[in-house]
Structures are given as structure tokens and as C-alpha cells.
Amino acid sequence: MKQLEDAVFHRDLTKNYPIITHGKGIYLYDECGKEYIDASSGAVAANLGHSNKKIAQAMFDQASKVGFVHTMRFETEVLHQLATKIVQLAPSTLNKVYFTSGGSEANESAIKLARQYHRDKGNKDKQIVIGRWQSYHGNTLGSLSVGGDVKRRKPYTANLIKTEHIYSPYCHQCPYEYEEEACIRQNNLACANDLARKITELGAENVSAVIMEPIVGSQQGAVVPPKGYFKRVREICDQNDIVLIIDEVMTGFGRTGTNFAIEQFGIEPDIMTFGKGISAGYAPLAGMIVNDKIVDGIIKNSAGQFVHGFTYSGHPVLAATGLAALEVYEEESVLENCQHVSKYVFECLEQLKEASKIISDVRGRGLLIGIELVKDKEKNILFDPKEQVANRVNTSAMDLGAVFYPGSGGIDGLYGEHLIVSPPLNITKKEIDKMVSILTEAIHLVEEELF
Ligand code: PLP
């Protein structure tokens, strides 16, 4: 028998993490009985909190009936029910759902579908995908390529697929050095128009798709684009016959106060990917919702064959999990709760910002909220990334009993550190008070260390 202390290949092999034995609502408990508020919903996935009995029962019931069928040979009723429900929630032109087991796979699928759509239509050179710096679309090679996480891309540069990047909008520290109000007033959105410039540079005949998060999550800390941004992006994609993929893996299913964040910007994408919130983190379920134009193109030009597929696409237990989660969202009016308490969390965090030396910005929508941490608020001087300030705040918060989602400062030292506050969407006001009080103390402790 091999004698091993720990056989798990952790992402960080130098660390030991608390062993979680159970969870309840917004709380997680470790083997020593210590309680943590899950103020990040894991990786912004556990939108309904922990140990939901209805979801657990649905998983058990489906596995007891049939645990797996291969969707190249069979279908299940539960999958149809789930797809129908998702389409009912989605923007009006998105009517077919393709399932995967993770957000990275969903984005890989979207990139491939856009490519196949163009190729089979006769546009054989339309291959390049344009993504954005300061964005994240997953960790598989294709999704990593279109994303802008410089640190994660670096070791694999030679393996990445052909992509191009523009900057994400970030009015708080505009990479194009514009002033927000004037920029919007003059309707001169440099960040959106840069897409047109990039397409001209590459030749529209070579560009297959554009992929964007509606509100940038892990790489920027819940940054909302300026007014008019997505309308201009949609217009540019239409003018150039480019597929617009909107990545709602983090933002979908109520996280930002609407079913999908893109609804707030008045456009409909061609493909919308989702993950995380669909199963509220209870199972690895994700996918893409596709509009009629692309589906019709595949039917007409590809004899209905999408040349793609995963063993676990359409897995019945995952589908039952998603269906049960969507029912819980509805039955417990979770979206309404998110809208209601969001205002309160913003008020609390704005107060914290005023009292703090290092919080320079509070932004986001719904319960996807970012707080930016800088060394000098007046002069907007950033921390040296080596100081790991966001991580230190989170470590301090974990000691005090709450876990947040820290993020680092992005490319070229352009941006500050941030922390995402994204508790389960059914959090109560009383629980929010406890979460904010722990965060306040954690910030205070780190400030004392720093100044
Ligand atoms: N897209 C976005 C916007 C994400 O936030 C993530 C994960 O954090 C992904 C894609 C990748 O999803 P997964 O980790 O399920 O592969």
C-alpha cells in the first residue's frame, strides 16, 4: 500500500486548505467546526447557498432513475424540460441550447460553432476570434486564448490559438485615457470603436467572432461598460458579419439582478454561454444558447451536423440539477431578493469606501460587486502586485469567518487589485450586516499593517 499524506494535485501544491465538512445556506463549516460566510459563492457559482434539499433530492431521484445516457443515441425528458426553461429566460432570438459540463467547454463550443457556421457558409477565411485583455473565458487552450488573463496565458503562449485582443472598457482608469462623461456625451466610445479599428486591421473577411463578458468578472472585479458600448459592438459585428458571443458564465441566472446581464445593455448576442449559476454550483453544468440565424446556417449549410461533442453533454443528472435549481430560483423569488438586497450592499460598501484608506471604487450590478484597492486614493497610486493586498484582505477575512474572491492588478500594471463580493443571491439583510462587518474589520487590519 502506498503511504501518501495528500494525493490531491492542488492548483497550488504549496498550500493546505481547510477541509469543509458541510454547508448550510450562506455558511460553510470546516472540520474544526469553524464557520465561514461564503461571500463569494465559491467562484461565483453557489448562487443558492449550500445544502439545498430540493436540489439534492432531484439529483438523487434522477440518478436513481437513470444516471447516464449518451446523447448521440438517446434523449431524456429532463434535458428537454431544462432547455425549454433556459430558452424561456433567454433573450428572444436565442432558441437552442447546447450543453457542456463547464464554462470553458461552453466557450470552446461557441468558438467552434462560430467557425463552422462561417466555413460552411463559404467564408473559409473567417477564423480569428477577437477577445479582450482584462477578461476571462476559461482555462482550456481555446478559451484561454480568447481571454486576457496574461499570467495564465504566459506558460502556454506557443499553444494558444490565433486570437487578437482589444482593451475592455474601464472608465475608472480608462486605458484610452478618456474622461467618462465627455466620452459618452460625445458618443465617442474609444473602447468600442477600437473593435472596428481592429477588424479593419485584420480584414473583416478573416474575423469569425468577438467574445466578451457583459460585466467583466474575475479579471477586473465587476466592471460595468459605459452606456452605449454594447450597442456599438453589436452594430460593428453586424456590419462585418461577425458572430457576437457573450459570455454569461459568471453573470447569468440572476447574478447581476436580471436573468442575464446583457439584457441591461439592450442588445442580443448570436451565442450566449452560461455555467456556474445554472446549477447553482451543485453540479458541473454549462452550455451555450444559440440564435436562429446560426442554427439555420448549420441546418442549411452543414446538413444539421455540428462537428463537436462531449461525453457528458446533456447528462441527465446534471440536467435534473439545473432544472431543480431553476425551480428554486423561481419558487423562492431569488432574483427579486438579489435586486432588493443589492442596493443595501452597495450602500454599506460605499460607506466602507468612505471610511477606508484603500478602497477607491465600488462597482458592479446586482450581487456581483467589485471593490478596488489602491495605495493612494487621491493620487490613484496602485499597490505593487507583490504586496498581494487583495489576497491579504481575503486571508484576514477568512480568519474572521468570511471568504471573498480576490483578484490581482491585470496587465501592464494598469489596474488596481480588487475583491469581488458575490454572496449567494438569497442572502438576507441580517447576513449582509455580518458579512460587511467582517470585511470592514479585515480591511482595517490590512490597513494597519500597511500604514
Ligand atoms: N467565463 C467566465 C466569465 C468565467 O468567470 C469562468 C470561470 O470563472 C469561465 C468562463 C470558465 O468556466 P469554468 O471554470 O466552469 O470552465
Give the tens place of pLDDT for each residue, 194-226. Answer: 999 999 999 999 999 999 999 999 998 999 999
**C-alpha cell at position 39:** 461571500
Q: Phi and psi for 400 in degrees, rounded to 5?
A: -85, -10
Query: Lowest mean pLDDT: which of 6-10, 95-99, 338-342, 395-399?
Result: 6-10
pTM above threshold 0.90:
yes
* pLDDT at res. 414: 66
- pLDDT surpasses 80 at 246: yes
pLDDT band at 230 (very low <50, low <70, confident <90, very high): very high
**Which amino acid is present at 331?**
E
Among 216, 249, 288, the mutation site with the greatest number of ligand 1 atoms within 8 A of its Cβ is 249
Which atom of ligand 1 lies at the shortest distance from residue 218's CA?
5
- Helix orientation angle between 429-450 and 389-400, rounded to the nearest 10 degrees: 130
- Kindly state the average pLDDT of the residues 136-159: 95
Average pLDDT across the chain, whole number: 95
Asked if residue 417 lies in contact with residue 380, where contact means CB atoms within 8 angstroms, the answer is: no
C-beta 91 within 6 A of ligand 1: no
C-beta 136 within 6 A of ligand 1: yes
Task: Kindly give the distance from the C-alpha atom of residue 103 to the centroid of ligand 1, in angstroms, as a whole number.
Answer: 5
- pLDDT surpasses 70 at 411: no
**C-alpha cell at position 239:** 456590419
- Kindly state the average pLDDT of the residues 124-132: 97
Task: Kindly give the distance from the C-alpha atom of residue 208 to the centroid of ligand 1, in angstroms, as a whole number.
Answer: 21
User: What pLDDT, in 10s, does the model give residues 268-293?
Assistant: 999 999 999 999 999 999 999 999 99
- Kindly state the average pLDDT of the residues 145-169: 94
Task: Kindly give the distance from the C-alpha atom of residue 248 to the centroid of ligand 1, in angstroms, as a whole number.
Answer: 9
Query: Lowest mean pLDDT: which of 47-56, 123-132, 168-177, 264-273?
Result: 168-177
* pLDDT at res. 409: 61
User: What pLDDT, in 10s, does the model give residues 363-375?
Assistant: 999 999 999 999 9
DSSP 280: T
User: What pLDDT, in 10s, does the model give residues 294-332?
Assistant: 999 999 999 999 999 999 999 999 999 999 999 999 999
Give 322-367 as a DSSP string: HHHHHHHHHHTTHHHHHHHHHHHHHHHHHHHHHH-SSEEEEEEETT
Sole residue written with cell 502586485: 385
* pLDDT at res. 225: 95
Among 212, 276, 418, the mutation site with the greatest number of ligand 1 atoms within 8 A of its Cβ is 276
Task: Kindly give the distance from the C-alpha atom of residue 136 to the centroid of ligand 1, in angstroms, as a whole number.
Answer: 7
| Residues above pLDDT 90, as percent of the chain | 87
Q: Phi and psi for 438 in degrees, rounded to 5?
A: -65, -40
- pLDDT surpasses 80 at 62: yes
C-beta 329 within 6 A of ligand 1: no
* pLDDT at res. 187: 63
Task: Kindly give the distance from the C-alpha atom of residue 44 to the centroid of ligand 1, in angstroms, as a whole number.
Answer: 9
Task: Kindly give the distance from the C-alpha atom of residue 47 to the centroid of ligand 1, in angstroms, as a whole number.
Answer: 15
* pLDDT at res. 179: 77
Task: Kindly give the distance from the C-alpha atom of residue 43 to the centroid of ligand 1, in angstroms, as a whole number.
Answer: 9
ipTM: 0.99
Q: Phi and psi for 311 in degrees, rounded to 5?
A: -55, -40
C-beta 82 within 6 A of ligand 1: no
Torsional class of 382: left (φ above 0), alpha (ψ -120 to 50), beta (otherwise): beta
**Which amino acid is present at 400?**
L
